[in-house]
Structure 1
Amino acid sequence: MNKRFLTIAAALSMGVALTACSGGGDEGKTGGSSVANADKPVVWYNRQPSNSSTGELDMDALNFNKDTYYVGFDANQGAELQGQMIKDYIEKNIDTLDRNGDGVIGYVLAIGDVGHNDSIARTRGVRKALGTAVEENGEILSDPAGINNDGSSKSVKDGSLEINGKTYTVRELASQEMKNSSGATWDAATAGNTIGTWTASFGDEVDVVASNNDGMGMSMFNAWSKENKVPTFGYDANSDAVAAIAEGYGGTISQHADVQAYLT
């Protein structure tokens, strides 16, 4: 039985950050007019205000006034931990991981919301760790690769890992934003349906399943990965995902939601 594990980002690593942002410029002013209650404390929590295309932080919002705070997890640090967790698992379980023995470690990726800074960071974290990242203007692309079993996507590239003296190709076989017909993102039901579509096409080419969160990850795990014994990695340390590690769920990252709630 492959070793299963849970990675938790410890508080000592500053996974949860309480940041006071000093004012920058005209406080409480928007478009030249005063904003009601402009001097009252502002607390952003869970999601940092950011550009929906690039993930770049909105520093005006984060510096709204001298008592502006952000309470949340370090998005980039958590993303790096998730990527490293997946890489470590591959290296430790390579003897049984390459299901069809073709020397290619194929993974699929469920993207939550293409415009969410956490989703962007997590997609980048996985790609960086596995060597599949493509950079443009100094930033790793976080666009969905679509169907990429032939390795032709411009959003990702084939990576490689040398393990026990052998070089394996790592390929992002497919990735997409999990959005339902009503426009809701991070949609677990869509992820569960999509893993069925992907695996109907790729079959035993899929060696690893990665997800931007546990909701989508568990949906894919229950729909396909558990029965086929394919490690699935999520994010959030949801209680059902933590319990599922004993059943083959690969791992998850904790954001210390209770601490975030307390600090908020």
Structure 2
Amino acid sequence: MKKIMGLLLTTLLVMSLFVGCGSKEKDAEPTGGNDSNQSSSEKDQGNKGDNSADKPKVGVTIYKFDDNFMTYTRNAMTSAAEGNAELVMNDSQNNQSVQNDQVDVMINKGVKALVINLVDPGAAPTIADKAKAADIPLIFVNKEYPEGTDKIDYDKVWYVGTQSKESGDIQGKLVAEAWKAHPEWDRNGDGVMQYVMLMGEPGHPDAEARTKYSVEYIKDEGIRVEELEKQTGMWDATKGKELMTTWLGKEGDKIEMVLCNNDGMALGVVEALKADGYFSDGKYMPVVGVDAIPEALDLIQQDIMLGTVLNDPLNQGRVSIEMAINSAAGKDVLDGLDFSLDETKAVRIPYQPITKDNLDLAKKAYGME
């Protein structure tokens, strides 16, 4: 009997050990994929069902993140990439050397296409040389190489943005029509529009064109003008406020019109004017900008800003990313897009004049409706 009991206990002990070992082996199976010696091809196969493996990595640099307009453009890029591409986004902090280094790093990380909002438009050939050496498609957005994208020695480079002269013409037309409709704006009654001009970044094609062509259009409409002050506000609201405060102290009520190369500076101008008593008790100063950012649209709605020019950030951001995705996949760069390239290899996003009468157009462009 003792022998039988001993055999039974031995059998049970062996069975329990067998079951216990089997359980540990089964629990360990999922960690097998973490073997550091696993080949890259095996990893790719393991991720075959993961959609992210099929998304191209697109490198993006923005000249500076805190620019009002480029913030909206950047958000549009992120939306366009969602589910379609992995973005590697960089803030170049308004420093071309920083941007050049960022491009080098992104290329080394294996991006399949580049979307670059240049700090210095003149640096386009340098960036293109980097992309060409790596055989990576390149899309410049918003800031255009002054000599034309077609003059850059690389067949896989394109531009998405506007026609700079057009924004100046539209702003000039908006001002001319309003001036003729409001003779009371000529405070001293001399038949001359005394104006101040806040310019964007020196050397920027948009800033140069808006400064030149807005005034030329006004003069072509038969309106006599006198430039009281003109300085760069670097696209910045704070600098715009500082300049306008200085000019009000110097020129006072002689100023009859404020022309701004962008809405960011116009917002600062409005703050300076408010501090000087404008926009209350019937004291008014017409201010115009460019971009039609939501903050400016609110001021137009309140009859504070006269108007602006729609510079469509959603389409600039969306189209540049979709072109990058197409080119990374070896497709026609405009596949699926309702746009065409002009003779300079550029997709032109049209400008639109914006006043209180058509605010809905700008709101729609900014996704506000």
Query: Please, which of 119, 125, 132 is the counterpart of residue 207 of structure 2?
Result: 119
Alignment partners' CA distance in 2, 1:251 and 1:221: 13
Q: Are 1:43 and 2:139 an aligned pair?
A: yes
Return the offset for 1:36: 2.2
Displacement after TM superposition at 1:231 (Å) = 0.7
What 5-or-longer segments of structure 1 have no aligned partner? 1-27, 51-55, 133-158, 162-168, 179-184
Q: Which deviations, in whole Å up to 9, do the C-alpha atoms of 1:179-212 show, x marking residues without a partner?
A: xxxxxx3222121111111121211111110100
d(CA) in 2 for partners of 1:48 and 1:193? 29
Paired amino acid for 2:262: N
Cα deviation per residue 1:198-249 (whole Å; 9 max; x = unaligned)? 1212111111101000000111012116434101000000101011013320
Higher relative helix content: 2
Consecutive aligned runs of 4 or more in structure 1 exceeding 4 Å deviation:
none
One-letter amino acid matched to 1:109? M
2:285 equivalent in structure 1: 230
Q: 1:192 aligns with which of 241, 244, 269?
A: 241
* Matches of 2:128 and 2:171, distance apart in 1: 39
Q: TM-score, normalised by structure 1?
A: 0.65
1:57 aligns with 2:153: no
Deviations 1:34-81 (A, max 9, x none): 94223x32111111112xxxxx436433x521x322111221112211
SS at match of 2:266: helix
Higher RCO (CA 8 Å, separation ≥ 6 residues): 1
The code of the aligned residue for 1:174 comes to E
CA contact (8 A) 2:140 2:160 kept: yes
Pairs within 5 Å for 1:1-264? 35-38=132-135, 40-50=136-146, 56-57=147-148, 59-61=150-152, 64-65=154-155, 67-94=156-183, 96-131=184-219, 161=223, 169-178=224-233, 185-224=234-273, 226-227=278-279, 228-247=283-302, 248-264=304-320
Indicate the SS of the match to 1:253.
strand
Shift of 1:130: 2.2
The alignment's C-alpha RMSD in Å is 2.4
Q: Larger Rg: 1 or 2?
A: 2
Q: Partners of 1:200 and 1:119 in 2: how far apart?
A: 25
Aligned-partner Cα distance in 2 for 1:29–1:109: 34
Structure (1 or 2) with the greater strand fraction: 1
The Cα shift of 1:92 comes to 1.3
Q: Distance in 1 between matches of 2:191 and 2:165?
A: 30
Deviations 1:94-133 (A, max 9, x none): 2x1112323321110000112100100100121211229x
Q: Does the Cα contact within 8 Å between 2:149 and 2:157 map onto a contact in 1? A: no
User: How many residues are treated as equivalent by the alignment?
Assistant: 187
Which residue does 2:59 correspond to in 1? none
The 8 Å contact of residues 160 and 170 in structure 1, kept in 2 or not, is answered as no
Q: Secondary structure at the match of 2:291?
A: coil
TM-score by length of 2: 0.47
Structure 2, gaps ≥5 residues long:
1-126, 321-369
Q: Is the 8 A contact 1:97 1:207 kept in 2?
A: yes
